[in-house]
């Protein structure tokens, strides 16, 4: 019920398509409205304290982070990117030969817009790699685990602080990530995809890797 309540006030959005991989099912729609007050203010990060969160919680992933991920993990040839934004993750994956289905709730003229990941009812016979709206990260992980086969992977680019919290502790007990890769040097997420305007990052990011069916202990590793 909590996840349902946090996704109220759904509004349909429509978009343009750029190289979605065909034949893998039809898709989705929901509201990803970000917080009005930046979490950076709470953290005391000076480069962010006077800024509000982007309305749809759109913070694009630095392509370097994806390049580094591909040195750490091997993935299925077919990848779903359900929060593709302007394609910062998808373009790197495509460059490395992956077939990527790119979708997003908001039309940013890349992939297929107006698509709600939470409404997807068919299975995805591949892996999932994304940087979800942080507010709905746990819901994204749960949905991803529902639609992939046992043994397939989910890679989520999230803040280090995602490890915190009593609710997430309980979630990790039943759905532990197999590996958490902590970036020892700061990687960037750019508000509205505007990396040229971003200062050095005040936030530590990680790649969280789930393998569906894995029930062992989570291994922490460092990279970058």
Using alpha carbons, select from 144, 93, 153, 148 the residue that is nearest to residue 125: 148
Can you tell me the mean pLDDT for 196-213? 82
Using alpha carbons, select from 27, 15, 9 the residue that is nearest to residue 115: 27
Q: SS3 of 46, please?
A: coil
User: At CB < 8 A and 24+ separation, what contacts does 212-215 make?
Assistant: 212/145, 212/148, 212/149, 212/150, 212/151, 212/152, 212/153, 212/154, 213/150, 213/151, 214/176, 214/178, 215/176
Of 57 and 83, the structure prediction assigns the larger pLDDT to: 83
User: Alpha carbon 68 to chain centroid distance?
Assistant: 16
**pLDDT confidence bin for 186, thresholds 50/70/90:** confident
Separation of alpha carbons 49 and 113, rounded Å? 31
| Terminal-to-terminal C-alpha distance of the chain | 39
**pLDDT confidence bin for 191, thresholds 50/70/90:** low
Q: What is the pLDDT of residues 50-79, one digit of tens each?
A: 445 445 566 778 899 999 999 999 999 999
Stated pTM of the model: 0.74
Sorted by where each starts, the structural domains of the chain and their CATH numbers stand as 2-223 (3.40.50.150)
**pLDDT confidence bin for 16, thresholds 50/70/90:** very low
Separation of alpha carbons 91 and 151, rounded Å? 25
Separation of alpha carbons 22 and 19, rounded Å? 9
């Amino acid at each position: 019920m909590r996840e349902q309540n946090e996704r109220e006030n759904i509004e349909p959005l429509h978009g343009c398509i750029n190289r979605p991989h065909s034949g893998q099912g039809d898709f989705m729609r929901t509201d990803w409205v970000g917080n009005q007050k930046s979490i950076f203010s709470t953290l005391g990060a000076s480069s962010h304290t006077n800024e509000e969160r982007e309305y749809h919680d759109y913070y694009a992933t630095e392509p370097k982070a994806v390049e580094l991920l591909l040195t750490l993990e091997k993935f299925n040839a077919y990848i779903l990117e359900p929060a593709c934004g302007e394609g910062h993750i998808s373009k790197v994956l495509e460059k490395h030969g992956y077939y990527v289905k790119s979708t997003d709730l908001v039309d940013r003229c890349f992939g297929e817009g107006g698509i709600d990941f939470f409404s997807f009812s068919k299975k995805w016979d591949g892996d999932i790699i994304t940087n979800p709206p942080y507010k709905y990260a746990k819901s994204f992980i749960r949905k991803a685990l529902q639609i992939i086969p046992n043994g397939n992977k989910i890679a989520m680019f999230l803040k280090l602080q995602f490890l915190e919290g009593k609710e997430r502790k309980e979630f990790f007990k039943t759905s532990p990530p197999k590996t958490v890769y902590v970036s020892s040097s700061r990687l960037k997420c750019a508000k509205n995809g505007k990396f040229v305007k971003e200062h050095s990052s005040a936030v530590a990011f990680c790649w969280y890797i789930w393998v569906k069916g894995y029930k062992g202990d989570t291994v922490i590793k460092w990279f970058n």
